[in-house]
Copies of this chain bind each other. A is one copy, B any other.
Amino acid sequence: MKNLELDLGERSYPIFIARDLLGAPDLWCKYITSQQVCIVTNDTIAPLYLEKLKAQLSDKTVCEVILPDGEAYKTLATLEQIFDTLLEENHNRTTTLIALGGGVVGDMCGFAAACYQRGVRFVQIPSTLLSMVDSSVGGKTGVNHPLGKNMIGAFHQPNCVLADLSLLDTLPEREFSAGLAEVIKYGLICDAPFFEWLEKNITGLMRRDTDLLEEAVYRSCVNKAEVVAEDEREGGRRAILNLGHTFGHAIETAEGYGNWLHGEAVSAGMVLAMALSVELGWLSDDILVRGKMLLQLSGLPVAPPENMDVDQFLQLMGRDKKVLDGRLRLVLLKGLGESVVSSDAPVEMIVQVLRAAGVRA
């Protein structure tokens, strides 16, 4: 087992990483200080793990909210279901919410916890690789709007995260790969040795070897935790976590949330960001090739969808949060493990890189 403490002053919390954490409540029950508990999950995860979790909470007053699975339901309307249940069951402000599921469940449950009675406690039990290495670290919560992803939300830190690797046993291959996109991202933006470790171990990781998984999740969380601890509210450095995300969000929005998985869109987006970095003369072509190779070995797409055109990209990127007063700010690489947030790429160069990647004019 590995664990780390996210250092955010009075909002610090531990992340436990191991198999069979659900069955080891001694480790985590002290983070559930209330009598009332509300488990938020979805209709894919509930049949697999809900009863097991509830069995560990037999001394609590537990209610549950089972949401429909999918990014398409990450909306204010779905959020209301959580509030309805909390109020119908008379939950007070000492209650604890538990997110049992992937990023969508975590983001929605976390946002519900941020807003219910202006903030209650919550514990995250991520069920996907993506949510273990990404959304369970850093306190970003929220829902989508038809005009943009994650446009409504809050910063709200969990009280504890249980990354139970056994939950990955039931994760479909495509979603496992999507999680690897974010794992690889940490190597690219700030941890060259980790990138090299991934290149060496990608075959074992794809077989879901427990020790390798534990190491990959741990190093991803450590990397993200370091960035987040420096910049909890995303004023500066935290933005590097968005490598590939501005392109990626455009892809997700154009294709409809959930048709391209987040990690798949980020994978294609990272390749575009690397290509732009090469074009600016900041990154050697060699790194771009290695990055593409590692993503491909992880079962990820490395080219944008064929049905998008350049204008659609630019328009959807303009709506992303990473735009400051009209200039496109993008995360780019100055080398393996070295990232910068930059407005240096002129629109013409972005267009050129998109065209070179096969995007229609």
A: residues with CB less than 8 A from B are: 35, 76, 79-80, 83-84, 87-88, 90, 92-94, 114-119, 140, 142, 145, 147-148, 150-155, 233-234, 318-319, 321, 323-325
Q: Closest approach, in angstroms, between the C-beta of A250 and any C-beta of chain B?
A: 14
Question: Known contacts being A140-B118, A145-B83, is A325 close to B94, with CB within 8 Å?
Answer: yes
Choice from B92, B147, B234, B325 contacting A92 with Cβ under 8 Å:
B325
List of B residues within 8 angstroms of A92 by Cβ: 321, 323-325
List of B residues within 8 angstroms of A150 by Cβ: 118
Tell me the bound Cα distance from A341 to B158 in angstroms: 29
List of B residues within 8 angstroms of A152 by Cβ: 83, 115-116
| A87 in contact with B118 (CB, 8 Å) | no
Q: Closest approach, in angstroms, between the C-beta of A94 and any C-beta of chain B?
A: 7
Tell me the bound Cα distance from A116 to B234 in angstroms: 14
Choice from B79, B115, B142 contacting A118 with Cβ under 8 Å:
B142
Tell me the bound Cα distance from A83 to B145 in angstroms: 8
Tell me the bound Cα distance from A79 to B150 in angstroms: 16
Choice from B84, B88, B233, B318 contacting A90 with Cβ under 8 Å:
B318
Question: Known contacts being A92-B325, A142-B118, A324-B92, is A87 close to B148, with CB within 8 Å?
Answer: yes
Q: Closest approach, in angstroms, between the C-beta of A121 and any C-beta of chain B?
A: 13
| B114 in contact with A154 (CB, 8 Å) | yes
Q: Closest approach, in angstroms, between the C-beta of A95 and any C-beta of chain B?
A: 10
Instruction: Name A323's closest neighbour in chain B (CB-CB).
Output: B92
Question: 18 A-B residue contacts at CB 8 Å?
Answer: A35-B325, A76-B79, A76-B80, A87-B145, A87-B148, A90-B319, A92-B321, A92-B323, A94-B324, A94-B325, A114-B154, A115-B142, A115-B152, A115-B153, A116-B151, A116-B152, A117-B153, A119-B155
Tell me the bound Cα distance from A210 to B174 in angstroms: 68
Choice from B87, B119, B142 contacting A154 with Cβ under 8 Å:
B119
| A87 in contact with B35 (CB, 8 Å) | no
Tell me the bound Cα distance from A153 to B111 in angstroms: 10
Q: Closest approach, in angstroms, between the C-beta of A62 and any C-beta of chain B?
A: 16
Tell me the bound Cα distance from A140 to B118 in angstroms: 8
| B324 in contact with A147 (CB, 8 Å) | no
List of B residues within 8 angstroms of A148 by Cβ: 87
| A154 in contact with B115 (CB, 8 Å) | yes
List of B residues within 8 angstroms of A90 by Cβ: 318-319
Question: Known contacts being A80-B76, A87-B147, A145-B87, is A154 close to B319, with CB within 8 Å?
Answer: no
List of B residues within 8 angstroms of A142 by Cβ: 115, 118
